Amino acid sequence: MRAYFMRPGRGCTRCIAPEATRDFVGICGVSPVMRRFIMRRAQRIGIFSLVMTLFVAACAGPQAPSGQEPGAADREPTTPRRITAAILDEPTTLSQAINTAGTGSRRGVGEVEKIIHAGLTLMNSDGVLIAQLAEAVPSLENGMWTVHPDGRMETTWNIRDGVRWHDGTPLTTADLVFTADVVRDPDVAVSGHPAYKTMDAVTAVDDRTVTVSWKEAFIAADQLFSYEAALLLPKHLLEQTYLNEKAALLELPYWTTGFVGAGPFKLSEYVQSSHMIVQANEAYTLGRPKLDQITIRFIPDPNTMVANLLAGEVDVTLGRGLALDQAQQADDQWANGHLEASSANWIAHYVQQLTPNPPVLGDVRFRQALIHAMDRQAMSDQLQGGAAPIAHSYLYINAPEYQQVESQIVKYTYDPARAAQLVEQLGYAKQTDGFFADSAGQRLVIESRTNAGDDLKEKILLASNDAWQQIGIGVNTVIVPRQQSSDREFRATNPGMDLVRQPWDPLRFHSREIPNPDAQWRGDNRTRYSSPELDAAIDRYFTSIDRNERIQAIGQFVQNLSVNLPALGTIYPPEPIMISDRLVNVGAAKGQPLIGTADETWNVHLWDVK
């Protein structure tokens, strides 16, 4: 029956049937459509009586979310035009800026936010910035972006006529000024894009025109007030709390059940840990969406996600999460859907540089030993079918700039003998048990952790840890529970290494992004690595208008990281999404820009069903 069966020991814990009967997918908590799906296949292979027994023994499952009949995603499209999407997580906020504010983020939040909200600009699937709520993207050519001889700049934005929030309130430049004030406020835990640190002032010329002055040149100035730099905030809903009870701002129901955006769909229902339902925004500035309703289910378990795809309960997955091998197996069996993938992140061990324990983690020779000990090609072959390139650099291997700077990247081959030699040179010697110890007989042990819930990361973590133990380094493996991963201080002060999945963003290695108590442990530099040379290269990259100068800065950046190894790259994994064949205008991103993020929901207002 191929992958319609789960692997032993991974059955539903709510089922009252014996353990042996739990290997069958979908018995507990399935809809009528999924039951018919299972029964048809059971009849074909002659286990009909077994399946009937399991149905009797299994407990009743949850009902379909309100607002959509069970199995709506499995029927031929009718009016109203509805689909079901799913993310492989349980979001705690619908704002990506809050979701990524210095701790482990929840998967799918960014994609969902683009469905219910909008910015002045938007990154399309080719990685090109286009106008959304604005009339045009500022540029030197259209005169809305000017650069002064001393490096200062000005950008001008014009909001399209008639743009409104989902509650009917006009969206004006007062909202833009308010957004800039909140995001730049150090007392509010919102992930601050470098644009907000570089700009000087935001001036509302009138209700639809705003001018931004900049302290210095900044290459991503045209992404201000967009998803890339924190989406707009409704002043009329949040200002009073911000002014009178700032500490409570991020605890408001606004960020989940009461979310009001300006995007193509508006929230009609939000049930924590279950689902949300969005309805077409009739007044969306780019035109009414073709779909009437999207139900977005929160399914944190990959096996459950695959089962729902195969049963026609889910039409499309949003965001990262499914491992490539899982997605490929589902693709082989999903007659009515297909797999698409694009690479947007690297997976790397981020090594604690400020307070490492043991201190030897702070020695680059030890980090060289760690990376030499990892067989990264084997990781790709065994975990990704060889489809994931080795991550020799933080820079995407498929980025146009990669070939221009590749000669500056130091690459480390798989060489466990060399790894052991480097550890010995640091004064350690192997004991009779095969593990290294210092001159006092203290065993060399490091901590290696990652967040729970990402199957691929957990497999890479175990493979890396096994490789290090093979050469004689003791490893304490820690899988951090999802709730604890939101503790900023806990994440920042880890003693050893944290395996993360991150997109290209040089600022994540800038010293001003180091989390510390004064910053309430906010900041994106998880390695807490500090280098004046690296800071200078990052600053040059973001402030160089000339492309050749930017390429030089990228080269200096990737060289510094590959020489000093604050992070140990493993692979660039393809990020798969699953798409039903009944959907139209839905697809994975074709290109990933170095500044910004492209994903499948950029054009959700054009999604449709056949």
Domain boundaries, the chain: 1-62, 66-117+263-341+576-610, 119-249, 346-571
Please tell me the predicted confidence (pLDDT) of residue 538: 94
Q: Count Cβ atoms within 10 A of the Cβ of residue 540 and give its class: 0-12 exposed, 13-18 middle, 19 or more buried.
A: middle
Nearest 5°: phi and psi at 582? -80, -5
Residue 138 near residue 130 (C-beta atoms within 8 A):
no
Decide which of 3.40.190.10, 3.90.320.10, 3.40.710.10, 3.40.50.300 is the CATH code for 66-117+263-341+576-610.
3.40.190.10
Instruction: Single out the residue of 77, 599, 607 nearest to residue 318, CA to CA.
Output: 599
Cα–Cα distance for residue pair 422/412, rounded to 1 Å? 13
> Which structure tokens are listed for 371?
């990376």
pTM for the predicted model, two decimal places: 0.72
Cα–Cα distance for residue pair 388/386, rounded to 1 Å? 6
Please tell me the predicted confidence (pLDDT) of residue 170: 98
Contacts of 497 (CB under 8 A, 6+ apart): 349, 350, 351, 352, 361, 446, 447, 448, 449, 568
Please tell me the predicted confidence (pLDDT) of residue 593: 59
The amino acid occupying position 161 is: D
CATH number of 119-249: 3.90.76.10
CA atoms within 13 A on the CB side of 514: 17
Contacts of 546 (CB under 8 A, 6+ apart): none
Element (H, E) at 108: none
Please tell me the predicted confidence (pLDDT) of residue 125: 82
∠ CA 358-359-360, nearest 5°, is 90
E strands, 68-135, where? Answer: 82-87, 121-123, 129-131
The amino acid occupying position 382 is: Q
Residue 58 near residue 333 (C-beta atoms within 8 A):
no
Please tell me the predicted confidence (pLDDT) of residue 257: 95
> Which structure tokens are listed for 329?
């197996």
Residue matched to tokens 């009138």? 206
Instruction: Single out the residue of 183, 189, 172 nearest to residue 231, CA to CA.
Output: 183
Instruction: Single out the residue of 582, 576, 581 nearest to residue 599, CA to CA.
Output: 576
Please tell me the predicted confidence (pLDDT) of residue 596: 62
Residue 388 near residue 541 (C-beta atoms within 8 A):
no
Count of CB atoms situated within 10 Å of the CB of 471: 22
Provide the H-helix boundaries in 4-47. Answer: 32-45
Please tell me the predicted confidence (pLDDT) of residue 324: 86
Cα–Cα distance for residue pair 420/515, rounded to 1 Å? 33
Residue 356 near residue 495 (C-beta atoms within 8 A):
yes
Query: Collapsing DSSP states into helix, strand and coil, what is residue 53?
Result: helix
> Which structure tokens are listed for 133?
């709520």
> Which structure tokens are listed for 289?
């969406």
Please tell me the predicted confidence (pLDDT) of residue 97: 81
How far, in Å, are 155, 408, 469 from residue 366 at the CA level? Answer: 47, 21, 14
Residue 313 near residue 39 (C-beta atoms within 8 A):
no
User: Which regions in the chain score pLDDT beneath 70?
Assistant: 1-78, 101-104, 191-192, 591-598
The amino acid occupying position 6 is: M
Q: Count Cβ atoms within 10 A of the Cβ of residue 7 and give its class: 0-12 exposed, 13-18 middle, 19 or more buried.
A: exposed
> Which structure tokens are listed for 82?
């509805």
The amino acid occupying position 29 is: G
Please tell me the predicted confidence (pLDDT) of residue 114: 94
CATH number of 346-571: 3.10.105.10
